[in-house]
């Protein structure tokens, strides 16, 4: 007989089914709690709420473990590529050579956007934030593919939607960048791989055709692999929430991009660099900012520190720290803010406040320094994160949409407002 937990409310007791995941994670299944007891659960920020069963990503935040489809993140960074990881996340297994070739060909095949869309970009002011452009463009892309908006797609149409979006998002991101620097748009090149093409579109000018070298391409691969999925984070939950109404993938991703934008989530990589620059401009006294972060009367937080699920070092931050050193040495860049970042990390890791609250550098702490060394402008950092997170969002949307038991997401609340009161005419108020 399967295990249950007993809930006692007043004189009544209720049996709650217990669910155990493949890594031993335990949950109380409260799907029928309200019908059984009249109670709901309250969990602001969803810190203790499982929204779904998922077989995509496993995290053990206490042990600093992150695995995609059971494979450790460090092994994927060492041996795989972002394209292969995308396939792994979306289709649930590593591809055979034939499957991988077919996947890459399909992605490459869809690497153009409708020419009319170019005028959308030029309608934005030059200073427009590229996250605003990206989110709007992904949604706008849907109007060119009405056949792919059907809520109950065939598996073939779903595959086409997925590969189109995987391919075109990097084009939209590169065009958003080109718009922001006032340069001509550059198209993909058939002989280049997915990420080299992206960098080529970003940095090629009429004066200079850009091709990334091996270390730069590998670094971007690692950055995108560590960004690729992180189970039910804010933006992925948003994609699932929007998609649960059977909104199409274009709309669901557009919403996910907006959720990622916030500085407490993907926007933290931009916020980290802005914080490090502010410390540098203020004389480089990192200790002053450690004290400020601890001061509860100040809203200041150490950006790039802390995480909802990691109460140990974020394994992604560890990987990126290594690549940060490698890429800066390779490019001969001596960035004073890297020294500030390292001093800040060292000071925080030996400070009681951060130790007791188990606050460690997260993925965003070092990613911004790498992007800066690669000449990616600060307001593009979160766009880079979005491109990396894309296969994860897609995998979660696909997992949910293919679940025959899928339900529209609709949380409840505990109402704390006025009880019934009469309307007072304005002259009597």
Does residue 370 belong to the site contacting ligand ACO (CB under 6 A)? no
User: Considering the rule CB under 6 A, would residue 363 count as an interface residue with ligand ACO?
Assistant: yes
The least distance separating ligand ACO from the CB of residue 364, rounded to whole angstroms, comes to: 5
In the complex with ligand ACO, the residue whose CB is nearer, 101 or 264, is 264
The answer to whether 307 contacts ligand ACO (rule: CB under 6 A) is yes
**Among the listed residues 254, 260, 297, 302, the one whose alpha carbon sits nearest the alpha carbon of residue 279:** 302
Per CB under 6 A, does 264 bind ligand ACO?
Answer: yes
Asked whether position 361 contacts ligand ACO by CB under 6 A, the answer is: no
Among 117, 162, 302, 369, binds ligand ACO (CB under 6 A): 302
> Given candidates 364, 380, 387, 400, which one binds ligand ACO under the rule CB under 6 A?
364
The CA distance from 384 to 371, in Å, is 9
Give Cα 372 to chain centroid, integer Å: 19
3-class secondary-structure state, position 89 = helix
SS3 state at 98: helix
311 part of the interface to ligand ACO, by CB under 6 A: no
Distance between first and last Cα of the chain: 63
Alpha-carbon distance of 195 to 213, in angstroms, equals 11
Backbone angles phi, psi at 6, to 5 degrees: -105, 130
Nearer to ligand ACO, 261 or 305 (CB): 305
Residue 145 beta carbon to ligand ACO: minimum distance, rounded to whole angstroms:
30
Helix 155-181 and helix 194-203, axial crossing angle in degrees, nearest 10: 30
CA distance 11 to 247: 44
List the one residue from 148, 293, 324, 400 that touches ligand ACO (CB under 6 A).
293
Asked if 266 touches ligand ACO (CB under 6 A), the answer is: yes
317 touches ligand ACO (CB under 6 A): no
- Give the residue with the Cβ less far from ligand ACO, 45 or 417: 45
Residue 216 binds ligand ACO (CB under 6 A): no
Q: How far apart are CA 130 and CA 127, in angstroms?
A: 9
> Which residues are part of the catalytic machinery?
307, 364
Contacts of residue 32, defined as CB under 8 A and 6 or more positions apart, other chains included, come to none
Binding site for ligand ACO (CB under 6 A): 45, 264-266, 268, 293, 301-308, 357, 359, 362-364
């Amino acid at each position: 007989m399967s295990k249950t937990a007993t809930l006692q409310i007043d004189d009544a007791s209720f049996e709650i089914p217990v669910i155990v995941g493949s890594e031993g994670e335990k949950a109380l299944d409260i799907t029928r709690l309200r019908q059984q007891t009249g109670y709901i659960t309250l969990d602001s920020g969803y810190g203790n709420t499982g929204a779904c069963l998922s077989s995509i990503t496993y995290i053990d935040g206490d042990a600093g473990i992150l695995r995609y489809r059971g494979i450790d993140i460090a092994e994927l960074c060492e041996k795989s590529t972002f394209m292969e990881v995308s396939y792994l996340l979306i289709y649930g297994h590593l591809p055979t050579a034939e499957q991988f070739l077919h996947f890459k060909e399909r992605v490459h095949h869809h690497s153009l956007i409708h020419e009319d869309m170019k005028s959308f970009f030029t309608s934005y002011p030059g200073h427009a934030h590229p996250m605003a452009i990206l989110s709007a463009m992904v949604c706008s892309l849907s109007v060119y593919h009405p056949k792919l908006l059907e809520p109950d797609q065939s598996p073939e149409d779903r595959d086409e939607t997925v590969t189109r979006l995987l391919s075109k998002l990097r084009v939209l991101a590169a065009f958003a960048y080109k718009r922001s620097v006032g340069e001509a748009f550059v198209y993909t090149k058939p002989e280049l791989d997915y990420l080299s093409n992206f960098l080529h579109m970003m940095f090629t000018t009429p004066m200079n055709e850009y091709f990334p070298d091996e270390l730069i391409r590998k670094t971007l691969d690692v950055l995108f692999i560590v960004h690729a999925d992180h189970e039910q984070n804010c933006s992925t939950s948003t994609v699932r929430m929007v998609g649960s109404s059977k909104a199409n993938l274009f709309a669901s991703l557009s919403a996910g991009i907006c959720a990622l934008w916030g500085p407490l989530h993907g926007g933290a990589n931009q916020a980290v660099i802005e914080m490090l620059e502010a410390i540098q401009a203020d004389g480089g006294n990192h200790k002053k900012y450690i004290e400020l972060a601890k001061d509860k009367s100040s809203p200041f937080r150490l950006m790039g520190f802390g995480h909802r699920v990691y109460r140990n070092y974020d394994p992604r931050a560890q990987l990126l720290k290594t690549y940060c050193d490698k890429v800066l040495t390779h490019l001969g860049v001596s960035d004073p803010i890297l020294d500030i970042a390292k001093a800040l990390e060292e000071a925080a890791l030996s400070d009681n406040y951060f130790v007791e609250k188990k606050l460690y550098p997260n993925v965003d702490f070092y990613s911004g320094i790498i992007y800066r060394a690669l000449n990616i402008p600060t307001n593009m950092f979160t766009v880079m994160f979005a491109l990396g997170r894309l296969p994860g969002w897609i995998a979660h949307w696909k997992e949910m949409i293919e679940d025959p038991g899928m339900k529209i997401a609709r949380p409840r609340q505990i109402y704390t407002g006025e009880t019934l009161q009469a309307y007072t005419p304005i002259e009597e108020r």
